[in-house]
Amino acid sequence: MPRILDGVAIAAEIKREVAEEVRTLAAQGVRPGLAAVLVGKGAASEIYVRNKVQACADLGIYSDLITPLDTVTTEEMLDLVAALNDRDDIDGILIQLPLPHQVDAKVLLDAIAPSKDVDGFHPVNAGHLLAGRPALAPCTPAGIIEILKRSGIPIAGQHAVVVGRSDIVGKPAALLLLHQNATVTICHSKTHDLGAITRQADILVAAIGRPGFITPEMVKPGATLIDVGINRINNREEFDRYFAGNTKREAAFVKRGSTIVGDVHPKAFELAGAYTPVPGGVGPLTIAMLMANTLRAAKLRRGL
């Protein structure tokens, strides 16, 4: 039977460690602080930010939730970021995406001080990551490494194949795996004979944003499958394509009218030696690593 890598349990472990370090810093008169900026109203974004603010409260991290109107301009947002860059009580700045169309997200994210870029998106931090220097790494890729390490999955010397080349997940995940001495191949939608490459993977990271894209014939038996995808499906035909015969999932689908599938077809997990489920795999690590990055930023800024 394949081993299920429990992201919920691993995230809880990381949060306990962060809370312990936050208590240690508090004894030295230091409290890490995170500014969360949520522009306008959007149900999904509000839930994400609320969960992040709650995580701060649970771990003893100070948080400041800032909610500009959805009519805000790029110039006004730049003024806000500049003010947050100057605040000594703020160690991390999080700007929840997506932003309204009139706000230039790239300009805004580049304006965040690299030392406070807890999402790890700033070009300076991307450059440090490329060079293998200490940096604030993007939360989801950093979480992937934590899952592998804390689950005792070997990385060094393994062939890791990353399907997806986004700046947020695919590229940084490949770099982090490379820094752990894996042999890394990056694939994407234009890769010829993709299955021939993915079948070579000891560790296969699926981050392409397409439901069930990695099918059983693309998987090497015994491989570790890391599924980063979160794709919502809400019609019966799609449900049956992925979950036919899964009575537990079907009951939840009927009740809610939708369910979530990753970038790996559920049937492919049957071939794996270990895998991250969706939900409950990589997802919970994102907030845990955001908390860890905020703590790290607080320590780095103070030379601790």
Q: Could you list the active site residues?
A: 52, 96, 119
CB–CB of 249/242 below 8 Å? Answer: no
Do the Cβ atoms of 5 and 151 come closer than 8 Å? yes
Query: How many other CB atoms sit within 10 Å of the CB of residue 37?
Result: 22
Cis peptide upstream of residue 123 (ω within 30 degrees of 0)? no
State how far the Cα of 71 lies from the Cα of 68, in Å rounded to an integer: 8
Tokens linked to 50: 């609320």
Q: Report in angstroms the alpha-carbon separations of 41 from 35, 46, 54, 69, 98.
A: 17, 7, 18, 8, 11
The span from the CA of 268 to the CA of 71, in Å, is 45
Helix, strand, or coil here: 169?
A: coil
